[in-house]
Chains A and B, each alone.
Chain A
């Protein structure tokens, strides 16, 4: 089955700086890669996703890049703000491929220092 590794487990950056979280996956059949943000005591919320036919996707201060050959993808947050503090999860899946659901990384606790 799919295995997703996520680094770092904790990331502390100064407000206004950029943050980068990296993930690798093992199953070359995976073709959908979402990122979720989870605030304390809340549900995971989708912030951006990318499919395997695209190398990069951007939404305002958030961008995701995907390298299918190397089987890794990254989340980039620019001009970080205090409300960006949360746990971020990457995930991978192969919808329709027989495997079910999303395989998540172990999460990155992002701390924005004022």
Chain B
């Protein structure tokens, strides 16, 4: 069984559209994350979410918003898509970001977003 899963795997859309990417983890972890990997393979944290506490990387535009319907899910909503949003988006989870020894992060398979 896949520990961290994402849908869709590929997403091609027009500039200006609004889209969502879903993420689910079945590890019972308390913390979930979203990362963006650009065309140069650089991985950058966007959000982390733990027990209703959301920490946002200050460089992330407010067009991006994570939503967590429950502990196992952290979905990413993107409004008014721009060309520069094209990237691979990875979801990840960890047992507990506060506890030493439980901070290991497990990544989902990624969603390849292409904005035309």
A residues at B contact (CB < 8 Å): 31-32, 34, 36, 38, 42-46, 49, 51, 87, 89, 93, 95-96, 100-104, 106-107
CB <8 Å contact, B42 and A106: yes
- A70 vs B104: C-alpha distance when bound (angstroms): 24
What's the count of A-B pairs with C-beta under 8 Å?
A: 64
Given A51-B100, A87-B41: A46 and B33 interface contact (C-beta under 8 Å): no
Q: Please report which residues of chain B, range 41-55, place their CB below 8 angstroms from some CB of chain A when the two chains form the complex.
A: 41-45, 47-48, 55
B residues at A contact (CB < 8 Å): 33, 35, 40-45, 47-48, 55, 57, 90, 97-101, 103-110
CB <8 Å contact, A46 and B110: no
- A104 vs B103: C-alpha distance when bound (angstroms): 15
CB <8 Å contact, B99 and A95: yes
Residues of B within 8 A of A106 (CB): 40-42
A-B CB proximity, top 7 nearest: A101-B45, A100-B48, A100-B55, A95-B103, A96-B98, A104-B43, A43-B107
CB <8 Å contact, B107 and A44: yes
Cross-chain contact of A102 among B98, B99, B105, B109 (Cβ < 8 A): B105
